[in-house]
Amino acid sequence: MRFHWFHLMPYPALPADFSQKHRSVWVDVPSSLFDPATGHRMYNEYIDELEEAARAGFDSICVNEHHQNAYGLMPSPNIIAGALARSTKNVAIAVLGNSIALYNPPVRVAEEFAMLDVISGGRLIAGFPLGTSMDTTYAYGQTPATLREKYNEAHDLILRAWTEREPFAFNGKYTQLRYVNIWPRPLQKPHPPVWVPGAGSVETWHWTAERDYLYAYLSFMGYKRGEHVLKGYWEAMAKRGKDANPYRAGFLQICAVANTDAEAERLYAPHAEYFFDTCLHIAPAFADAPGYRSLASIQAGLASGFGRGTPADNPKLTWKDLIEGGYIVAGSPQSVRQQLADVAKRLHVGHMLLLLHFGDMPRETTSINTTLFAREVLPHLRPLWSEWEDRWYPKPLAAAGPP
């Protein structure tokens, strides 16, 4: 089994009454609340945390793209990944990802991902998310009804740019280029492994199956909700004749590890409250623009990954509620080991993405969580799924990383 240290890079200094005074942490959150000096400290501490996770033995360190928000301050995750490509070795770098429908032209993604793959020695995992409703429709002005069509065209252009050996012309509906001829080319052949983060869209399941990509369910509604979504995913794979290899699926889970269950609550409960009450305080209208979800996904009862249905809708939720609801896996190392083994088996996933920093968690608390997980949890769960081959993980150069 593989374990991936996922960072959102949230803004940790919003006012205590933010969720009472402001309607959303995304799209129209006043930028006057951002203090650049705090941001300077935060970005550097967050990069330190990712580097620590790399040294601790996680299989990858993960970053992602969001816009006009205090929930995840990485409008350009490739900048962070570029720093990590130089400062780490051996660990994979997962950019989950670039929202490819937002790039004009999309060959920009092909070029920058190729750069990251070459600099890192073939350690890149290329994430192609459709993008949230907040990012795509409200922050970047994309039409939700045509978003998936634009996404599909961008994907096809990027893959051709990576794999064709000679210059070619591309005449799509949204992008027309007389010459496509990227320099550099990716180190991994035919291209870096592609992961598709999603929030439960039926179309995304089928799309990843057709291309044999990894599907990663990224949601903060916890493993109990995740079990319902992954059940639908595996049923879709079976209908398409795909094997039940657990490595073709990933799942994001918030975890909090301490020496005892009581200590876990003391260390992490305040930061969980900030995360669910403040970082996930999203206006429902922003989370689900008309046309963003397809009729098939609506009929399947698959909600968007944000907005209504998250713990933020009920600010009275306690630490106990979050644990019992499956939103957070927390406790002593033995307790977390048992819970995560059960989650992996119930959801049948070979890639576990872990949110070990959440909310306004300080550097020293994040280090405790990361160290305890890497030392006391990860080795015990590593043998799970060893009978399967992982075809969705990078195959880097033997000496990948900075000299």
115-164 pLDDT per residue, tens: 999 999 999 999 999 999 999 999 999 999 999 999 999 999 999 999 99
Per residue in 74-98, pLDDT (tens digit) is 999 999 999 999 999 999 999 999 9
Stretch 391-399: mean pLDDT: 91
Q: Are 78 and 124 in contact (CB under 8 A)?
A: no
pLDDT of 314 over the 70 cut: no
Residue with tokens 């990948």, as numbered in its chain: 400
**Burial code of 32-71, b = ≥16 C-beta within 10 A, e = fewer?**
eeeeeeeeeebbeebbebbbbbbebbbbbbbbbbbbbbbb
Whether 315 has a pLDDT exceeding 80, the answer reads no
The better pLDDT of the pair 263, 203 is held by 263
Phi, psi of 245 (to 5 degrees): -60, 115
Between CA 220 and CA 200 the distance in angstroms is 12
| Mean pLDDT value across residues 199-208 | 89
Is the pLDDT reported for residue 341 higher than 90? yes
Give 279-309 pLDDT, tens digit per residue: 999 999 999 999 887 766 666 655 556 654 5
- Spatial distance between the Cα atoms of 178 and 171, rounded to a whole number of angstroms: 8
pLDDT reported for residue 88: 98
* pTM, two decimal places: 0.95
Residue 308 confidence (pLDDT): 46
Query: Does the structural domain 2-381 have CATH classification 3.40.50.300?
Result: no
Q: How many CB atoms lie within 10 A of CB 341?
A: 15
**pLDDT of the residue at 200:** 77
232-256: average pLDDT: 97
* Domain range annotation of the chain: 2-381
In the predicted structure, residue 324 carries a pLDDT above the cut 60: yes
pLDDT at 400 exceeding the cut of 80:
no
- Mean pLDDT, the chain, integer: 94
| pLDDT recorded at residue 347 | 98
- What pLDDT score was predicted for residue 283? 96
- pLDDT given for residue 302 in this prediction: 59
Identify the burial level of 325 via C-beta atoms within 10 angstroms of its C-beta, where 0-12 means exposed, 13-18 middle and 19 or more buried. middle
Is the pLDDT assigned to residue 51 strictly greater than 90?
Answer: yes
Q: Is the pLDDT of residue 311 over 60?
A: no
Give mean pLDDT, residues 265-270: 98
